[in-house]
Structure 1
């Protein structure tokens, strides 16, 4: 008999970017701009990509590592307020098995000293010990670093 578990956690990451809120939002909304920072290293193989940035739209991507491990990202956009907010749900899979499901809120606001104050909040459930909040937070921190570099 297989033991199943569900661990819930929420984390928040705040950043300031020296770019306008429109430009930061564009980095999420435009497929070419998002491809510059979202995903993994360029040498990783990416498959089954789709990008439909609208309320009710879906974004998908499967990343294949050198050892053959396949990670799937399957998102649905729930709420979009241009240059202000994005809310989406997503699930992650590993070799076809669901390892987590999350709700994410991205907020962009003009900073008092210029640029953009940015926050991402993720509420996740990590399934059967196959993923965890610490790993997800680190991965999201890495993505936010890549986003910042893409905006420079």
Structure 2
């Protein structure tokens, strides 16, 4: 099964600041994480054309335990404007899908706009694949929310203080 989707996010941060969150390993690991405990996580980033990124983690939830791995290769990088890369996602050693991602950055007002376009090919489906594509889109949205928290920390500062029920 294959398809594509696009997401757009506006930031008060400049394109340079958003690009840095992709390129700087210290910033990247603050928002790019695989599900699971940080004690089991590994991450390596070589941010250059021809470079790669590899991340792995053990995800445990109840009686479910999955070994997750992400492997990417950067094909085009234009500082502060564009990143094109291919990645593959593995679950328990099985390659589940491969994606081509284009991230475009543009100045917009006092901030920037990020356009994320992803073309995916699922190699192994769960059921009819509907849950897989929903999971991919939702996971990407969560990643971009994490990116927002890194490049716009003032926007998220007070959120941790909110408690259920308004207490």
Matched pairs, number: 144
Going by fraction, where is helix more abundant, 1 or 2? 2
Preserved CA contact (<8 Å) 1:124 1:133 = no
- Equivalences for 1:37-48 in 2 at 5 Å? 37-40=31-34, 43-44=37-38, 45-47=40-42
**C-alpha displacement of 1:91:** 0.3
Kindly report the root-mean-square deviation, in angstroms, between the aligned alpha carbons of the 2 structures.
1.4
1:86 is matched with: 83
- Equivalences for 1:124-135 in 2 at 5 Å? 124-130=120-126, 132-135=132-135
Larger RCO, structure (CA 8 Å, separation 6 or more): 1
| Deviation per residue, 1:87-128 (Å, 9 max, x gap) | 0000000010000000000001000x2100111110000122
2:119 is matched with: 123
- Equivalences for 1:47-126 in 2 at 5 Å? 47=42, 49-66=43-60, 67-111=64-108, 113-126=109-122
Runs (5+) with no aligned partner, structure 2:
153-167
Compute the TM-score of the two structures, normalised by the length of structure 1. 0.90
Runs (5+) with no aligned partner, structure 1:
1-6
Compute the TM-score of the two structures, normalised by the length of structure 2. 0.82
* Equivalent-residue separation in structure 2 for 1:103 and 1:18 (angstroms): 27
